[in-house]
Structure 1
């Protein structure tokens, strides 16, 4: 079905591999189109409880965009390119099911932006992050100026974007860009370990956590009011009743997503 990505479903976890190792998994328009279709699967396939986005190979998550495609792009086409990227990455960010970025090497430019669109990030020890677009006379175009600033603060984000520098995995951990750093061969195991914990929780509650946390960065939404509404809505679910009863009865809850 796909030519530039690879997918597999294991233990209710949907793995999406950016699969262009000969190009350091660089994003081109075909990758973006296929990634959008794979993200649609996350929304529509009830067997999928969560997802992991990663890269094929041991060198790169996504080492940036396919620059060769930029040589004939006009200003209008450039804006259209960015808009398409924004739509795909916002779908990732707004997914009611958790999506983790497992960053297995270089995450530069569009790769860093893809990782930041995920709900959180874990990185291998050899990972590198950066927004080097200024080296091409460009700026980040897939949400990088906004998400990087939100994640690590304005000062650090502006320095990274204006110098085009890269940071290593441990710096990314210290700056709050990633949640965990592990050895490369432990990366997928770590993702599975975290998601196994999340799968044991109420899926409707998880979706509401995502929705409310995203609202904290949306100027058009009163996140506090949304939290009140979503908190109240939880009380109308079977999952909340099950969770409360399980707690009182000192047993593990069995959530059904209703």
Structure 2
């Protein structure tokens, strides 16, 4: 359970939700998103599950976000349809009253980072690397990236992360408050288990009410997400967006500001 893209299993009160696409660094496609929704719905309804742990298969990546080949084919209508699906996933993660812990190994990039922002806690191996590369793809992280990251690290640091595309080691991410803890790689499983045991010893109704109360203000950002997706849908098919996705797939730097000799300006990104 639930399918080829996402695994779901419950043991000792912990529901493990695993993105199982290590061959593409656990990038998610539509099927992945639907299976994640199903997994979190199962965990929410499962009386045996008191804590949910979200992770990615293998040691290379937690997730590198949306599958770029999928996104490259988007047009505005498809973008809106996927936006509705992603909002459903966010509501499935944030809407469960059970604590959700992101367990992170390897790359945590773009939409993968937005996934961990939707979780209540984030614990990473020291070798994990965090980044937002949307500015290199002609894209914008409006699926709670622009809304939730500033609440954790502050506006200026969030703009640095989201706009410059730099890579950050786990220890630095923990120092900024981006994640809760960075631990030696071989201690990650044990560290997450300790967090799970502590949470499972607490009152479920107290955890549910506390989570709901803390999340109240952030939940008001949903209109910003909806507005962001509507705006974002209009860039699909744009020259800059396709330059970004094509450059990524061709493993080369994007050229957003190529000079136009006739006008003295640029073909993209004036």
TM-score (norm: length of structure 1): 0.82
- Within a 5 Å distance, the mapping from 1:79-118 to structure 2 comes to 79-118=80-119
Distance 1:66 1:210 in 2: 31
Superposed displacement of residue 154, structure 1: 0.8
| Residue number in structure 2 paired with 1:162 | 163
| Residue number in structure 2 paired with 1:125 | 126
The structure-2 alpha-carbon separation of the partners of 1:141 and 1:58, relative to structure 1 and needing over 3 Å to count, comes to same
The structure-2 alpha-carbon separation of the partners of 1:130 and 1:83, relative to structure 1 and needing over 3 Å to count, comes to farther
The higher-RCO structure (CA 8 Å, 6+ apart) is 2
| Residue number in structure 2 paired with 1:215 | 216
Distance 1:83 1:131 in 2: 22
Superposed displacement of residue 218, structure 1: 4.0
Q: 5+ unaligned residues in a row in structure 1: which ranges?
A: 221-258
Q: For residues 94-150 of structure 1, what are the alpha-carbon distances to aligned partners after superposition, in whole Å with 9 as ceiling and x for unaligned? A: 210011000111110110000110001001011111221111100014211111111
Q: For residues 48-79 of structure 1, what are the alpha-carbon distances to aligned partners after superposition, in whole Å with 9 as ceiling and x for unaligned? A: 11110011111100022110012221123213
RMSD: 1.4
Query: Is the contact made by 2:148 and 2:218 (CA closer than 8 Å) also made in structure 1?
Result: no
Worse overlay, 26-35 or 159-168: 159-168
TM-score (norm: length of structure 2): 0.78
4+ long deviations beyond 4 Å? none
Distance 1:182 1:53 in 2: 17
Query: Is the contact made by 1:55 and 1:103 (CA closer than 8 Å) also made in structure 2?
Result: yes
Superposed displacement of residue 86, structure 1: 2.2
Number of positions where the alignment pairs a residue of Structure 1 with one of Structure 2: 220
Instruction: State the SS of the aligned residue for 1:6.
Output: strand
| Residue number in structure 2 paired with 1:237 | none
Superposed displacement of residue 45, structure 1: 0.8
Q: 5+ unaligned residues in a row in structure 2: which ranges?
A: 222-270
Distance 1:134 1:78 in 2: 18
Worse overlay, 127-136 or 114-123: 127-136
Q: For residues 201-252 of structure 1, what are the alpha-carbon distances to aligned partners after superposition, in whole Å with 9 as ceiling and x for unaligned? A: 11101100100010133448xxxxxxxxxxxxxxxxxxxxxxxxxxxxxxxx
